[in-house]
Amino acid sequence: LSSLRGLGHSGGPWWPGLLPEGSPIPKPPAKPYPPPPKDKLLPPTPSVYLENRNDAHSPELMRYCFTQPVVVIRGLAAALRLDLGLFSTKSLVESNPEHRVEVRTQRLQSPDQNLDSQGRTVWLCESPKTTTTIAKYGAYQAASFIEAMKEEKIVNFSGTAPVTSTPTSNTLSAISVDNKSSTGSLSNAVTGSGRKNSTHWSTESTNSELNTNQPHHMGNKISGDENHSLSNQQNNGRLKLIRFGTNCDLSDQKKWLPQLHELTKLPIFVRVVSAFSMLSHVGYPLLGLNTVQLYLKVPGSRTPGHQENNNFCAVNINIGPGDCEWFAVPEQYWGAIHNLCEKNNVDYLTGSWWPDLETLYKEEIPVYRFIQRPGDLVWINAGTVHWVQAIGWCNNIAWNVGCMTARQYQLAVERYEFNRLCGVKSVVPMTHLSWQLAKNIKISDPGLFELIKHTLLRSLIQSQLTTDFLEKMNLTVKHHGKRPDDIAHSCHDCEIEVFNILFVLSQDKKLVVRCLDCARRMDSTLKTFIILSEYYIHELAEIFDKFQLQTQPITAYPVGKT
């Protein structure tokens, strides 16, 4: 810091990026070369079958998940005796009927297709947003099922194929009555009643013959007649509209204590709150990331293609009673999908898109495809591209975790910088998070330690240069301080994270924060702004100096007789 003092008098510009000096500008990567052979473009999905609590909490399970782009963990709810009934629509309505839920209106389509109103194959997945209450959506969900039951009776009478997945008598009870049967026979249903081994590691596959219309899973599939009926519906231009209840916030412990307490039974590496997760160190809720979100679905409800915010890992549990179908692409191919989105006139980062499987196959992009049944947990590793469609009536819960690995942190920072270049706000404030990690935890992984230390250094230098510049301008910086639960700030104009030095202006009777660059664009003298600092420079320097790599001491062992 002593060698830097005074350099900020020039006024910049300084690039406040977190990547090392000389790093290339972040951009979508080229496809891996050589491409996989044709028979590897629909790889079997990594799967783990659990039968008891010890299986779920084994270190081997965590290590296996960290090495795979996506893993479906079957029988988790049964192994841990999770009461999934707490997340049934009936339980949720009884607990908080007026709780708000976002609703997306979508066209009912086959998972293999995405057609516009003219019947043309497109990538844009139309999904306009409204809001309602859990009680009202629950009524819609139940009515949708009853309507399908009536259609099924007509189908059985006329011999015509149905247009949705076939409803069962258990489905309505799961929507309108607590579904607590998930802890009983689910293990046998998922793993097979004759299985002897405690944990079964496998990759699910179908016949070796390649078929882009065939999901890699075991058990019931959407019948060919149903897909045929959907195709007829699409060809006739009669696409039914459905409503998908999404992003329902379950973060309030006063409202959802039984539900959140039940999730503490999960293995530590997938828990919502855990010292093992970087996101638990942010210090405040990031809705849907370090808090639980609920999804209420009818058949055909779609979560369009995406990577998780800042490439953090994701956890998703199917509450049931219906199934969901998943599609996933390894992180290394996100650049190829980004380019395909551009060709199809949809924004990769902010748009709503549904990939065309035939196009992915022609472009030699591998796709995992599998079914998630009630009680199954899907693990999405850092950066994996994925999209999901409900096959039946079901609820899902999901959140993100930040593994304490160098790869997770590196991918998060890379997306942070790519978002900055694209003018997209990063939901996870990586600079703030890095300082929180430096204060809260001891790190023994040299790779992760060096990455975090570099972020600390870059942001510390930025604070020193900005302070120097403000001194030259004879501007007063007021110390504001920062409490442990204070949120990170972002610029009102460009939405990048603003760390430590805040340029505050009263606007529409509200105090808004801007970064140095945007503040100077508004007023080159900066005299109209109140300038606040969250930390003294010496405070940051002290945290930086105390942040040291933790090494394991060598234990002395005796040799021979003593």
Question: What pLDDT, on the 0 to 100 scale, is given for residue 161?
Answer: 45
SS (H, E, C) 7-75: HHHHCCCCCCCCCCCCCCCCCCCCCCCCCCCHHHCCCCEEEEECCCHHHHCCHHHHHHHHCCCEEEEEC
pLDDT surpassing 50 at residue 213: no
User: Looking at per-residue confidence, does 71 or 207 come out higher?
Assistant: 71
Instruction: Please name the residue ranges forming H helices in 159-218.
Output: 169-176, 186-191
Q: All domains of the chain, ordered by start, with CATH? A: 7-26+426-546 (2.10.110.20), 38-147+241-404 (2.60.120.650)
Q: What is the pLDDT of residue 210?
A: 33
Average pLDDT of the segment spanning 526-531: 97
Res. 439 pLDDT band, cuts 50 70 90: very high
- Give the separation between CA 264 and CA 270, rounded to whole angstroms: 10
pLDDT beyond 70 at 252: yes
3-state secondary structure 90-138: HHHHHHCCCCEEEEEEEECCCCCCCECCCCCECCECCCCEEEEEHHHHH
Give CA–CA dist 170/177, Å, rounded: 10
Question: pLDDT at position 46, please?
Answer: 98
The residue ranking higher by pLDDT, 560 or 105, is 105
Per-residue model confidence as pLDDT tens digits over 337-356: 999 999 999 999 999 999 99
Beta-carbon contacts of residue 558 (< 8 Å; ≥ 6 apart): none
The whole-model pTM stands at: 0.87
Interior angle at CA 3, CA 420 and CA 447, nearest 5: 50
pLDDT at 151: 81
Q: Measure the CA–CA gap between 320 and 298, rounded to whole angstroms.
A: 11
Give the lowest-confidence range in 97-106, 205-214, 453-462.
Answer: 205-214
Query: Residue 152's beta-bridge partner residues?
Result: none
- So what's the pLDDT on residue 21? 77
Express each pLDDT in 277-326 by its tens digit.
999 999 999 999 999 999 999 999 999 999 999 999 999 999 999 999 99
Task: Determine the pLDDT at residue 480.
Answer: 94
Q: What is the pLDDT of residue 508?
A: 86
Q: pLDDT band at 152, cuts 50/70/90?
A: confident
Amino acid at 392: G
Tokens (6 digits) for 278: 């970087």
pLDDT above 90 covers a percentage of the chain that reads 76
| Residue 520 tokens, joined | 């100077």
353's tokens: 């898109």
Determine the Cα–Cα distance for residues 77 and 83; give it in Å rounded to an integer.
Answer: 8
pLDDT at position 198: 41
| pLDDT for the residue numbered 509 | 86
Task: Single out the residue of 382, 499, 489 nearest to residue 434, CA to CA.
Answer: 499
Which is higher by pLDDT, 561 or 366?
366
pLDDT band for position 196 (cuts 50, 70, 90): very low
Name the pLDDT band for 227 (thresholds 50, 70, 90): very low
pLDDT score of 546 more than 50: yes
pLDDT tens for residues 52-95?
Answer: 999 999 999 999 999 999 999 999 999 999 999 999 999 999 99
Between CA 309 and CA 450 the distance in angstroms is 23
> What local confidence, expressed as pLDDT, does residue 23 receive?
82
Over 70: is that where the pLDDT of 29 sits? yes
Whole-number pLDDT of residue 225: 42
What is the tens place of the pLDDT at every residue in 444-494?
999 999 999 999 999 999 999 999 999 999 999 999 999 988 999 999 999
Pick the more confident residue, 219 or 38: 38
Interval 4-26: pLDDT, tens: 665 555 666 566 688 877 788 89
Q: Is the pLDDT of residue 215 over 90?
A: no
Question: Is-contact 288 295, C-beta < 8 A?
Answer: no
